Amino acid sequence: MNFWHPQHKHHHNLLLFIFGLTLAIIISQNAEFNKIIGSLGTFGYLGAVIAGGLFTSTFTVAIGAVILVDLAKTLPPVWLILFAAAGAVFSDFLIFKFIKDEVEDDIKPIYEKIVGSHLKKILHTKYFAWTLPVLGALIIVSPIPDELGVSLMGFSTLTTTRFLTISLVSHLIGISALVSAAKIF
């Protein structure tokens, strides 16, 4: 049996997920890695872009938040928020494309079995079609890591342009809240 055969494509995604999780755990235990993360605050706006990208993932949200709070001490808030949001949108876009191009085909048969044809028709009417993108946007704005929200939007019929707009607005709101809290406290 050829593990890498397209018939076993869903194994690739699971393997990549397990590999990424394992790598994140190993790297987070490394003292040198922690020094590098701490020094991102000295990179100015590049550090803001990187922190914004880190702010979107389950494994790196805390690191991204710490860097953003640190950068809030030295950078003008408007520019910090814009650069961090750009990094976050880029990171979300990578997840969105992965969901749209790779994972959607794996999940579709499971979704159809669970939801069924009648409920599927109801969920895809004009009255319910907006629910996945709205739920996704609310998750992105919240302190919850973005993967779930981006996945919901990736499974919807949302175009890339609309996704990028929703992601940008959501991150501008979420990062503004974090930076404002950092300035207050």
Q: What are the structure tokens assigned to 180, written together?
A: 């404002």
Q: Give the lowest-confidence range in 34-38, 92-96, 180-184.
A: 34-38
What number is the average pLDDT over the span 78-90? 97
pLDDT above 70 as % of the chain: 71
Our measurement of the distance from residue 54's CA atom to the centroid of its chain's CA atoms, rounded to an integer in Å, reads 9
Q: How confident is the model at residue 177 (pLDDT cuts 50, 70, 90)?
A: very high
Q: What is the pLDDT of residue 56?
A: 87
Those residues whose C-beta lies under 8 Å from the C-beta of residue 59, and which sit 6 or more positions away, are 20, 21, 24, 28
- Between 145 and 164, the more confident residue is 164
What number is the average pLDDT over the span 168-181? 93
- Between 136 and 86, the more confident residue is 86
Does pLDDT of 163 surpass 70? yes
In the chain, where does DSSP find H-type helix?
Answer: 9-28, 31-39, 45-54, 61-71, 77-98, 104-123, 131-141, 147-155, 160-184
9-67 confidence digits (pLDDT tens): 555 655 665 676 676 667 767 788 778 777 877 889 999 999 999 888 877 777 788 88
- Model confidence, pTM: 0.74
The 10 Å Cβ neighbour count of residue 156 is: 21
Q: How many residues are present in the chain?
A: 185
Report yes or no: 148 and 28 within 8 Å, Cβ to Cβ.
no
Q: What is the pLDDT of residue 1?
A: 46
Q: What are the structure tokens assigned to 87, written together?
A: 């990094």
Q: What is the pLDDT of residue 178?
A: 92
Mean pLDDT, all residues of the chain: 79
Per domain, the residue ranges of the chain are: 35-184
The CA distances from residue 169 to 34, 130, 137, 141, 150, in Å, are 30, 17, 9, 9, 14
Give the burial class of 56: count Cβ atoms within 10 A of its Cβ; 0-12 exposed, 13-18 middle, 19 or more buried. buried
Our measurement of the distance from residue 81's CA atom to the centroid of its chain's CA atoms, rounded to an integer in Å, reads 16
129-143 confidence digits (pLDDT tens): 677 788 888 888 887
